[in-house]
């Protein structure tokens, strides 16, 4: 089981963590956001955090998932960061949302590199990659930059529009945009006999489809993976899955994937983390990925 940090990239740094918060730098702006797993003390003082930060997120009392941003003068509500790691380069627009997310998950940069190189290694001139629960599209951009035709699916139309803007800002194309419930889509693709050389899944613990379809990770992930097994080509191909539910371990994910994909090779699984500048390791979800040749 692996513990994987993100590769270093100039536009991002986790400065400090603690007191159920984290302070990060995205480009030239420093943000303070809630972080439920940062149960330890901060290394810097509250005054040092306050002096550095350009915006901080304040949770609503009755709904910890929502809140509002406190912005200092000069802090924009939208800006761009560049991801650069060897041959992989793309641009993403960030924005201050009411759900504390800003359009990027930096720990996923390790997966972006993996997806780019896995796509490049496929023995197909224009491989097809399906990205489910694709959010603002970092993984879609990585696959696209690697030469794939990408199907990018998310249930929220505004998020799909955001991802398309990121593609255009990165001077990429050849991504098909789908705003739909993931389970409905993969079942239809399976009936049609469509297949992909790569599948990426980043499902939430719970959620709703565009028509109110209910998603519960623990109840539906097994069925979803079975559908994906019929969509993933038997030859050279890859699969990447991330989970953020605190009730799931990497070992559960390993057993789940092995039961659905018994012939996979080169599997690796574990936990993503980001070290802050004082060496404290902040865990940020589990992953599993494999390639077949």
pLDDT tens, position by position, 234-259: 999 999 999 987 678 999 999 999 99
Instruction: Answer yes or no: is 161 within a domain.
Output: yes
Indicate the Cα dihedral angle 58, 60, 63, 64, nearest 10°: 20
The count of structural domains within the chain is 2
- Looking at the fold, whether 119 and 42 belong to one and the same domain comes out as no
8 A C-beta contact, residue 163 and residue 154: yes
pTM over 0.85: yes
Would you say residue 211 has pLDDT above 80? no
Taking Cα atoms as reference points, which of 36, 79, 39 lies closest to residue 57? Answer: 36
Instruction: Answer yes or no: is 89 within a domain.
Output: no
- Looking at the fold, whether 127 and 24 belong to one and the same domain comes out as no
- Rounded CA gap, 159 and 153, in Å? 10
pLDDT tens, position by position, 180-199: 999 999 999 999 999 999 99
- Looking at the fold, whether 30 and 108 belong to one and the same domain comes out as no
* Two tokens, residue 53: 């930060």
Comparing 97-106, 157-166, 202-211, 279-288, the range with the smallest average pLDDT is: 202-211
Q: What angle do CA 213, 112, 179 make, to 5 degrees?
A: 25
pLDDT tens, position by position, 127-179: 999 999 999 999 999 999 999 999 999 999 999 999 999 999 999 999 999 99
- Looking at the fold, whether 112 and 252 belong to one and the same domain comes out as yes
CATH code, domain with 59? 2.60.40.1180
Q: Find the domain containing 217 and state its range.
A: 104-292
Q: Which of 28, 61, 78 is the last residue in one of the domains? A: 78
């Amino acid at each position: 089981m692996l513990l994987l940090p993100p590769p270093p990239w100039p536009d991002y740094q986790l400065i400090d963590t603690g007191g159920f918060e984290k302070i990060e730098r995205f480009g030239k702006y420093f943000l303070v956001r809630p972080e439920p797993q940062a149960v330890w003390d901060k290394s810097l003082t509250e005054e040092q955090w306050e002096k550095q930060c350009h915006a901080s997120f304040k949770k609503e009392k009755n709904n910890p998932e929502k809140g509002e941003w406190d912005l200092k003068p000069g802090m924009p509500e939208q800006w761009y960061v560049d991801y650069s790691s060897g041959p992989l380069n793309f641009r993403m627009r960030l924005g201050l949302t009411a759900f504390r997310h800003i359009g990027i998950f930096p720990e996923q940069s390790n997966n972006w590199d993996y997806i780019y190189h896995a796509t490049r290694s496929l023995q197909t001139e224009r491989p097809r990659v399906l990205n489910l629960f694709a959010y603002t599209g970092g993984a879609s951009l990585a696959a696209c930059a690697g030469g794939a035709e990408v199907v990018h699916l998310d249930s929220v139309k505004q998020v799909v529009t955001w991802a398309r803007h990121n593609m255009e800002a990165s001077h990429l194309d050849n991504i098909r945009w789908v705003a739909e419930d993931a389970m409905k889509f993969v079942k239809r693709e399976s009936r049609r006999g469509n297949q992909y050389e790569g599948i990426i899944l980043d499902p939430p613990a719970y959620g709703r489809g565009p028509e109110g379809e209910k998603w519960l990770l623990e109840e539906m992930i097994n069925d979803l993976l079975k559908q994906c097994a019929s969509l993933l080509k038997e030859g050279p191909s890859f699969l990447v899955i991330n989970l953020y539910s605190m009730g799931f371990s990497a070992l559960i994910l390993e057993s789940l994937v092995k039961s659905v994909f018994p012939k996979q090779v080169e599997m690796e699984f574990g936990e993503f983390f980001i070290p802050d500048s004082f060496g404290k390791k902040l865990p940020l979800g589990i992953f599993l990925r494999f390639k077949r040749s």
